[in-house]
Structure 1
């Protein structure tokens, strides 16, 4: 969901805001609007900044995800605590100890090895394995093609689409969300030139690939400034981007991101920025502004500017300590923890495999997950 230069302009709020994406986001009420007489320093920052292309999964994936969200909203909860979103989150996680097949389209073996070496750091902490299908004779890595009739891999990496993004976890092989001939993760331009922050971008997108959401969508964590300052008069610069008006009143994120270069409708802004209850990279633990799953946002995007707990002076490029312990809790190694986790998943899969509101294809998908869990 971003471009190939810096991850700040590449990952979420970097040249193309998701991998998470997976993502049926719901929002909390907008934060308090900034007063028209905002401090000059903050206004100057707003005027100077150019709105970047933000991370966002392509429209065909988002439409399918929204369709599933509507269908799941009709599914009766099997017990307390199993909201439609909770069911989706559980269904996106891979099985503990599972080996995920990774395939590439484009790029050479040297690039594939570089990416594989960096993103495999996740498997040091999560009870998962990555299989890149390296041919011991040729040194070539597993490939996938748009003409594939069946999924060649669980994670299908491309370099030729716009931006950086990833589907979240098992969405990559859910027939209602992805097709065998479609990428599930994109790293635009990596095959042409690696950006300076490429390792952070790759780690972040593979975090989504193993079913981690965005940390900034933790409930109540970020005070995004969604609304315009009261009385704001729509004003644009030479590039068509919205800027403060003659009275120095500022446009909010709905207006800013609704214009060039993102052109997002409000629903897409909400999907990518608002709280997802419950939604964050990890199900437990404190909000972690240092997480690899937390993007760098410009100060003008928050009601409290650079004082916001979500503001960071730069982008996060490495796994934080809480990333390591968090992903270990999502994919535990202890037998007791795995057994308890499997019981919860089985209950969710059973409900979804029998839900009348879901399509036959979707029910078959969840029944397959249930059967796999029993083996």
Structure 2
């Protein structure tokens, strides 16, 4: 097609930004000063991740009454797509908000967003932890459903990866996002686009522009790399190969037979940072028990009780950044089965780390 003097060449036409995910403020952990860089990095990298094997229950709130059956089914399929990668997490739809970790609304005009991983546990059971503010049956909407669930699994925006090497035309970004359809104030644009994550919060050193956690961007918003200034970043429409690699690193397929531990038995935690060990407890008597770690380590321990063949959350302890060890004091019942999942943030001292049941 010929270009008239009133038209810009195709590569210079400014495209409107699509609807973007507006991530809520992230809860920053309160850690004591003076932690070593390696210890701090291990805590920040793992802090939003669930222990593997968790059953994440999701509930459609009353606001979903206005959503079509196709919209609800798209969310269900998005959960299934993450599960089909072969991860150790389970997803279960429930009717009661009080029984859920993830509560989903379809409030129009509020954008699409999700709290990141375990940050959802700090939200009232009467409130949403995820929202969809536009049609999920379009290609962009289908990607949105998978993107928000990626946040719920503990993953951040890919374009905020400090290793991406993106140099923004910042004022143009602010102006574009201040316009329809997003209408964002500057602080929201900074939080969701221009703010770079700490290198301590990012695994590896590669940027994946095909990640489902990446935003699409029209040409002209990125100054460098030149390729993305010229072409923009296309809308990721599926969970990428690298997404699959990293989600399986955090949530590998589970061993069906966790190691059984008994009172006054200690088990060495031979884990790398971010790895997890699972233990089964079948008490021989009903009484108060203590479960705790030994040695210099940061861990999160989550205890589940088996109820009708399904593991239900019982209690948890997170000692990350503290100089004391994790301890659980719980009343366990004879003949019931419990599973303790322990994810290691870091073993930061000179000795070995272990776990013991008293």
Cα separation, 1, equivalents of 2:200 and 2:300: 21
Cα separation, 2, equivalents of 1:298 and 1:305: 14
The structural deviation recorded for 1:91 is 2.2
Q: How many residues in Structure 1 have an aligned counterpart in Structure 2?
A: 268
The structural deviation recorded for 1:263 is 5.1
SS in 1 for 2:212: coil
Cα separation, 1, equivalents of 2:235 and 2:211: 10
The structural deviation recorded for 1:159 is 0.8
Cα separation, 1, equivalents of 2:9 and 2:225: 10
Cα separation, 2, equivalents of 1:290 and 1:372: 32
Alignment of structure 1 residues 98-177 onto 2, 5 Å: 98-105=54-61, 106=64, 107=67, 111-124=71-84, 125-133=86-94, 142-144=95-97, 151-161=98-108, 162-174=110-122
Cα separation, 1, equivalents of 2:120 and 2:179: 30
Instruction: Decide which of 163, 172, 184 is 1:220's aligned counterpart.
Output: 163
Measured at CA, do residues 87 and 42 of structure 1 come closer, stay the same or move farther in structure 2, by a change above 3 Å?
farther
Cα separation, 2, equivalents of 1:218 and 1:339: 20
Determine which structure has greater relative contact order: mean sequence separation of CA pairs < 8 Å that are 6+ residues apart, divided by chain length: 1
Q: TM-score, normalised by structure 2?
A: 0.62
Q: What corresponds to 2:192 in structure 1? A: 272
The structural deviation recorded for 1:305 is 7.2
* 2:283 matches 1:326: no
* 2:235 matches 1:315: yes
Cα separation, 1, equivalents of 2:200 and 2:231: 19
Instruction: Decide which of 46, 66, 83 is 1:90's aligned counterpart.
Output: 46
Greater helix content: 1
Deviations 1:299-340 (A, max 9, x none): 111004761399655311111111111110122347776896
Alignment of structure 1 residues 240-259 onto 2, 5 Å: 252-258=172-178
The answer to whether the 8 A contact 1:292-1:317 is kept is yes
CA RMSD of aligned residues (A): 3.9
Cα separation, 2, equivalents of 1:288 and 1:306: 16
* 2:275 matches 1:341: yes
Greater strand content: 2
The answer to whether the 8 A contact 2:50-2:154 is kept is yes
Q: TM-score, normalised by structure 1?
A: 0.59
Bigger shift: residues 198-207 or 103-112 = 103-112
The structural deviation recorded for 1:215 is 1.3
SS in 2 for 1:103: strand
Cα separation, 2, equivalents of 1:209 and 1:197: 19
Measured at CA, do residues 86 and 337 of structure 1 come closer, stay the same or move farther in structure 2, by a change above 3 Å?
closer
Measured at CA, do residues 316 and 220 of structure 1 come closer, stay the same or move farther in structure 2, by a change above 3 Å?
same
Cα separation, 2, equivalents of 1:215 and 1:126: 20
Measured at CA, do residues 267 and 313 of structure 1 come closer, stay the same or move farther in structure 2, by a change above 3 Å?
closer
Q: What corresponds to 2:127 in structure 1? A: 182
Cα separation, 2, equivalents of 1:120 and 1:310: 36
